Amino acid sequence: MSTLTPDLAARLPGPEWMQARRAAAVERFDDVGMPTEAEEIWRYSRISELDLDAFAPVLDDQDRGVPPDAVPAIETVGERSGLVVTRNGRVAHVELAPTAGAGAGVEIGDVFDADDGDGLLGSVAPSSTDAFTELSTAFAPGGALVRVPAGVIVRDPIVVVHWVDADGGAVFPRTVVVLGEDAEATVIERYQSPDVAAFVDPVIELDVADAGRLHYASVQDFGPRVWQTGYQATRVGRDAHLTSIAVALGGDYARLRTDARLQGQGATSQLMALYFGSDSTMLDFRTLQDHAAPQTTSDLLFKGAVADTAKGVYSGLIRVRKEARGTSAFQTNRNLVLSEGAGAESVPNLEIETNDVRCSHASAVGPIDDEQRYYLESRGVPPEVAERLIVLGFFSQVLERLPSSALAGRLRERMATRLGAEA
């Protein structure tokens, strides 16, 4: 671990409280060490291929402002209430539309600048979760903060763009979203890079207070030489509602672990994902639907497709704790395998400590349905077009749930192009 040292961590920007945390996290990271595929939660991954020494934290403070290449990712979303752009993890640009409730106390910025930043960072995603959350604590140079006070409704999406362009960089983007009681907001995150070799370790914390309603979506569209070990943790309060949609398209190996904790009675979460791997990408998802209160509901739908020699991994656990009586929990993972060299794993699990539950899980891995293909071809649709229609149709269930129809349209075009449509 020659590049990720306490000395280096100490040279990163941040408030005093952060400096103390960094040193402790580096130490714990050294104790924990890198995970291996032998651990269940890393099974099927390629984590032992990750050579952290090949990447170094980005110390120099780059230009502020929006990197020109990141503009399309922002514009695609359409109308927005606010924007945070991070560049290699540092907050580089912040704006809040006057109509979006700056007066109402909506806060958008860098979590390092918040008076209570020490309490916010890591409150939903503890640093001790795994080696990579420790690394994030040690080396994150800032973090996007979106905070909506109680009772405030933010109409248009707040956009967060994490732009990674440091070749050879170890990059630690962070996002903290806090919704007060009965508040409502939409947050769309975009993880983008040009073709650089980078290690990216995002940590996303979503905290929805009682009766809050958060619509969250993230789109990972990194270049083909990016390694990602992402962690998204959510806490949903009493009668609160979370919709979370993860879209993953790029990277060499890109992992996203999602822990969704239903903390208050009557809390609900809808977790969705759309992942489409091509070339030799591996897209790796781990989910936990954690029911910690009575009458909570979680519904998960993850849909993936893999082409060329790409690999997909889905492993999910529904945990219903003893106190979570009257819980409903559903989990569905479906995978389309589009070529012989591609493959997908799907591993659903249940851990239930009470009787009063409704649970179901379903998983499927297989090629495009022959009957569907024949049906379209019998109308005169060429085979490669039929395949494209079927794959896009397979994804439409998730696409149409995205909080921006303009973004959904753009993603559909991207995937169509990847499936051979003329751009």
Partner 1 sequence: MSRLVVSGLRAAVGGQEILRGVDLEVDSGQVHAVMGPNGSGKSTLAHVIMGRPGYDVLGGSVTLDEDELLALPTWKRAQAGLFLALQYPTEVPGVPLEDALAEALRARDDGEAVDVHRRLADEAARVGLDARFLARPLNVDFSGGEKKRNETVQLGVLRPKIALLDELDSGLDIDALRAVSRRVEQETKETNLGVLVITHYSRILRELQPDKVSVLRKGRIVATGGPDLADELERTGYAGYEDDEGETPPAPSAANADPFADPLL
Q: Is 126 in the site for partner 1 (CB under 8 A)?
A: no
* Binding mask of the shown chain, residues 352 to 371, with x at each position contacting partner 1 by CB under 8 A: ------------------xx
375, 406, 417, 420: residue in contact with partner 1 (rule CB under 8 A): 375
140, 267, 337, 392: residue in contact with partner 1 (rule CB under 8 A): 392
Give the interface segment with partner 1, choosing from 159-167, 256-264, 304-312, 387-395 (CB under 8 A): 387-395
Give the interface segment with partner 1, choosing from 233-241, 287-295, 352-360, 376-384 (CB under 8 A): 376-384
Q: Is 385 in the site for partner 1 (CB under 8 A)?
A: yes
Do residues 173 and 200 touch, judged by C-beta distance below 8 A? yes
For the CB of residue 304, give the shortest distance to partner 1 in the complex, in Å. Answer: 15
For the CB of residue 385, give the shortest distance to partner 1 in the complex, in Å. Answer: 5
Q: Is 340 in the site for partner 1 (CB under 8 A)?
A: no
390, 411, 415, 419: residue in contact with partner 1 (rule CB under 8 A): 390
Give the interface segment with partner 1, choosing from 96-104, 194-202, 260-268, 377-385 (CB under 8 A): 377-385
383, 405, 406, 413: residue in contact with partner 1 (rule CB under 8 A): 383
Number of residues that bind partner 1 (CB under 8 A): 23
Do residues 306 and 343 touch, judged by C-beta distance below 8 A? yes
Nearest in space to 217 (alpha carbons), one of 87, 78, 404, 70: 404
Q: Is 115 in the site for partner 1 (CB under 8 A)?
A: no
Q: Is 380 in the site for partner 1 (CB under 8 A)?
A: yes
Please give the residue ranges that form the binding site for partner 1 (CB under 8 A): 370-372, 374-383, 385-386, 389-390, 392-397
